[in-house]
Amino acid sequence: MDAGTAPADDLDVPTGGGLARWVAIGVGIVLLGFVGILFTRESGEDTPSFAVQGEPVPAVAGSTLDGGTYDIVDDRGRWVVVNFFATWCAPCREEHPELVAFDEAHAAAGDATVVSVVYDDRDEAIRTFFERNGGDWPVLVGETAPIAIDFGVTGVPESYLVSPEGRIVAKFAGGVTAAELDAAIAEASNPSTTLAAT
């Protein structure tokens, strides 16, 4: 032992190995507690309700880029395309003109609309993007992560077509065209096609 260095026992402090062991035990106890909570808690309203075709649409509500608010419930009676996007996402930028075309084609009749849900992006970038590329529909900003979680979004772009009754009728991952959206509306609107598919 070096001169001037007292044994760890004499200083009453744990050695490096002993301290690490106690920290590991503490972390293990905490993790076991979390696992126990997850496995013993009952399903409730706080459990995400992933968007499933044929099921009611999860809540889509919040603050919009223009300073207003949006709630998908207010769009009952018409088709809604819920589009998850980000300005840094190349496929999102490629699909955007298709969403603009779809929205403009349905604007006069008012039978369909688009709502964008921002996915991990900055308000300034989003505002600039819409100013340059068009798109006159609500854009949800701020705390949108819970919406993405409820839909089970795994990446952007993802779009969900919601019926006038408020049910998910189609999901599009990786981009969608106006023609695909119109085809999905036509298919979901035709009872014989729906019955044949089931």
Q: Does 148 reside within a domain?
A: yes
What residues make up the domain containing 87?
A: 61-197
How far apart (Å, rounded) are the C-alpha atoms in residues 178 and 103?
9
Q: Is residue 33 within 8 Å of residue 41, measured between CB atoms? A: no
70 pairs with which residues across the strands? 62
Q: Does 151 reside within a domain?
A: yes
Q: What pLDDT was estimated at residue 181?
A: 98
Residues 132 and 179 in one domain: yes
pLDDT tens column, 91-115? 999 999 999 999 999 999 999 999 9
Q: Does 126 reside within a domain?
A: yes
CATH of the domain at 178: 3.40.30.10
Q: Does 178 reside within a domain?
A: yes
Mean pLDDT on 156-185: 97
User: Given phi > 0 = left and psi -120 to 50 = alpha, else beta, which region is 18?
Assistant: alpha
Give the DSSP letter string of 21-57. Answer: HHHHHHHHHHHHHHHHHHHHSPP-TTS-----TTSBP
DSSP secondary structure code for residue 111 in this structure = S
For the chain, give the mean pLDDT: 83
pLDDT tens column, 37-91? 444 444 344 444 466 788 999 999 999 999 999 999 999 999 999 999 999 999 9
Task: Read off the pTM.
Answer: 0.72
Residues 124 and 65 in one domain: yes
Q: Does 2 reside within a domain?
A: no
Number of domains in the chain: 2
pLDDT band at 119, cuts 50/70/90?
Answer: very high
**Across 20-24, 130-134, 181-185, least confident range:** 20-24
Residues 27 and 111 in one domain: no
Residues 18 and 88 in one domain: no
Q: Which one is predicted more confidently, 32 or 181?
A: 181
**Which are the contacts of 72, defined by CB distance < 8 A and separation ≥ 6?**
57, 59, 60, 61, 80, 82, 115, 162, 166
How far apart (Å, rounded) are the C-alpha atoms in residues 94 and 103?
16
Q: Does 23 reside within a domain?
A: yes
Q: What pLDDT was estimated at residue 167?
A: 96
